[in-house]
Amino acid sequence: MNGYLADVAALARKDLQLELRARDTLPAMLLFVLATLVVFHFALPASAGDEPAYGLLWVALVFTALLGLSRAWAPETAAGALDGLVLAPADRSAIWLGKTIATLAFLAAAEIVALPAFALLFAPLDGAALAGVALASLGLCAVGTLVSAMAAAARGREVILPLLFLPLAIPLVVGGVGAGISEEPGRFLAFLGLYDAVFAILSWAAFEYVVTE
C-alpha cells in the first residue's frame, strides 16, 4: 500500500511540477471562471433572485473543469510518456489517481478564486453549498480524468471529451445546485457522496482498460 501511495504521490507531484513550469492549465481556468462569472453578472436580470445564480455558478464550474480536463493528458501525449507510465511496474490505477489529484488541485485553486467572486457578484454561499462544491468537484475530476484519458487517445478529442463528460456531469450539477438552494441539502450531499464513491471506484477499476489497446 505504501508503494502504491508513493507512486500516486510521485505522479501527482509530476503534474504539479509540470503546471508550475509550463503554466498551461491553471491560468486559463482562472481567467475563464472569472470572465464567465462577470459576464453572467451582467447577463442575469437584477430581479432574477439568487436561485438562478447558483445554476450559473455550476455552468461556470463545469466548463472550467472541462477546460482543465482537456489539457490533463497533454504532457503524456506529447512524446508518448503515457506508454512509459503504462510500462512501469506501478499499478495502472495509480496513474489515474495521481492525475485525478492533480486535476482536483487545479480545480480547487480555480474555485478558491471563483467562490469569493461569486459571493461578491451574486449571493453568499453557506456551508452546505461549499460542501456541495467540494463533493461535486471530486466527482467531476474522478470521472473527468477517466473520460479525458479515453478522449486523449482518440481523434477529434476536442469533440469527444465534452460528449462523454457533460452527460456524466449532469447529476453532479443537479446535486451541487440542490445543495446550494434546497431547504434540505443533506440528501443532495448524500447523493453527491454516493456518486463520488461509485464513479471513483468504477474509474479506478476501468482505467487499465482505457490505456491499453
Q: Any contact of residue 87 with other proteins (CB under 8 A)?
A: yes
Choices 7-15, 49-57, 65-73, 167-175; region in contact with other proteins by CB under 8 A: 7-15
- Please say which residue, 84 or 116, places its beta carbon nearer to other proteins: 84
- Please say which residue, 81 or 112, places its beta carbon nearer to other proteins: 81
- Counted residue by residue, the chain has a size of 213
Rounded Cα gap, residues 195 and 172, in angstroms:
8
Smallest distance, Å, CB 4 to other proteins? 11
Smallest distance, Å, CB 92 to other proteins? 10
Q: Any contact of residue 1 with other proteins (CB under 8 A)?
A: no
Please check whether residue 54 is in contact with residue 177, taking contact to mean a CB–CB distance below 8 angstroms. yes
Choices 59-67, 86-94, 117-125, 143-151; region in contact with other proteins by CB under 8 A: 86-94
N-terminal to C-terminal alpha carbon distance within the chain:
27
Q: Any contact of residue 21 with other proteins (CB under 8 A)?
A: yes
Among 1, 43, 46, 79, indicate the residue that binds other proteins (CB under 8 A): 79
Please report, as ranges, the residues that interact with other proteins according to CB under 8 A. 3, 6-7, 10-11, 14, 17-18, 21-22, 75, 78-81, 83-90, 212-213
